[in-house]
Amino acid sequence: MTTTNFATKKHRIIDCHGHYTTAPKALEEWRNKQIAGLTNSALAPKVSDLKISDDELRESIETNQLKLMRARGLDMTIFSPRASFMAHHIGDFNTSATWAAICNELCYRVSQLFPDNFVPAAMLPQSPGVDPRTCIPELEKCVNEYGNIGINLNPDPSGGHWTSPSLSDRHWYPIYEKMVEYDIPAMIHVSTSCNSCFHTTGAHYLNADTTAFMQCLTSDLFKDFPTLKFIIPHGGGAVPYHWGRFRGLAQELKKPLLTEHLLNNIFFDTCVYHQPGIDLLTKVIPVDNILFASEMIGAVRGIDPETGHYFDDTKRYIEASTQLNDEQRYKIYQGNARRVFPRLDARLD
Ligand SMILES: [Zn+2]
- What DSSP letter does each residue of 16-67 carry, written as one string? EEEEETT--HHHHHHHHHHHHHHH-GGGPPPGGG----HHHHHHHHHTTHHH
Counted residue by residue, the chain has a size of: 349
Element (H, E) at 212: helix 205-217
Count Cα neighbours of 62 within 13 Å in the Cβ-side half-sphere: 8
Between the CA of 91 and the centroid of ligand 1 the distance, in Å, is 22
Domain ranges for the chain: 5-347
Query: Could you say which DSSP state residue 172 is in?
Result: G
- What is the rounded distance in angstroms from the CA atom of residue 190 to the CA atom of residue 162? 10
Question: What's the confidence (pLDDT) of residue 1?
Answer: 40
The single residue of 62, 140, 295, 306 carrying the catalytic annotation is 295
Question: What's the confidence (pLDDT) of residue 2?
Answer: 44
Is 184 in a helix, a strand, or coil?
A: coil
- What is the rounded distance in angstroms from the CA atom of residue 71 to the CA atom of residue 54? 23
- State yes or no: is 177 an active-site residue: no
10 band by pLDDT with thresholds 50, 70 and 90: low
Q: Is the pLDDT of residue 265 over 90?
A: yes
Q: Is the pLDDT of residue 7 over 90?
A: no
Q: Is the pLDDT of residue 9 over 70?
A: no
pLDDT average, residue stretch 231-254: 98
Q: SS in 3 state form for 167-210? A: CCCHHHHHHHHHHHHHCCCEEECCCCCCCCCCCHHHHHHHHHHH
pLDDT average, residue stretch 179-198: 98
Beta strand 309-310 with 303-304 is antiparallel
Between the CA of 11 and the centroid of ligand 1 the distance, in Å, is 25
Contact 167, 211 (CB under 8 A): no
Q: pLDDT tens for residues 189-228?
A: 999 999 999 999 999 999 999 999 999 999 999 999 999 9
Between the CA of 341 and the centroid of ligand 1 the distance, in Å, is 17
Distance (Å) of CA 11 to CA 23, 189, 230: 29, 28, 25
Count Cα neighbours of 116 within 13 Å in the Cβ-side half-sphere: 7
pLDDT mean across residues, the chain: 96
Contact 268, 289 (CB under 8 A): yes
CATH of domain 5-347: 3.20.20.140
Q: Residue 329 is which amino acid?
A: R
pTM for the full model?
0.96
Question: What's the confidence (pLDDT) of residue 349?
Answer: 72
Question: What's the confidence (pLDDT) of residue 237?
Answer: 98
Between the CA of 273 and the centroid of ligand 1 the distance, in Å, is 13
Other CB atoms closer than 10 Å to residue 301's CB: what's the count? 11
The distance from CA 264 to its chain's CA centroid, rounded to whole angstroms, is 18
Between the CA of 46 and the centroid of ligand 1 the distance, in Å, is 28
Question: What's the confidence (pLDDT) of residue 11?
Answer: 76
* pLDDT over 90, % of the chain: 97
131 band by pLDDT with thresholds 50, 70 and 90: very high
Q: pLDDT tens for residues 140-176?
A: 999 999 999 999 999 999 999 999 999 999 999 999 9
Between the CA of 266 and the centroid of ligand 1 the distance, in Å, is 17
Q: pLDDT tens for residues 289-299?
A: 999 999 999 99
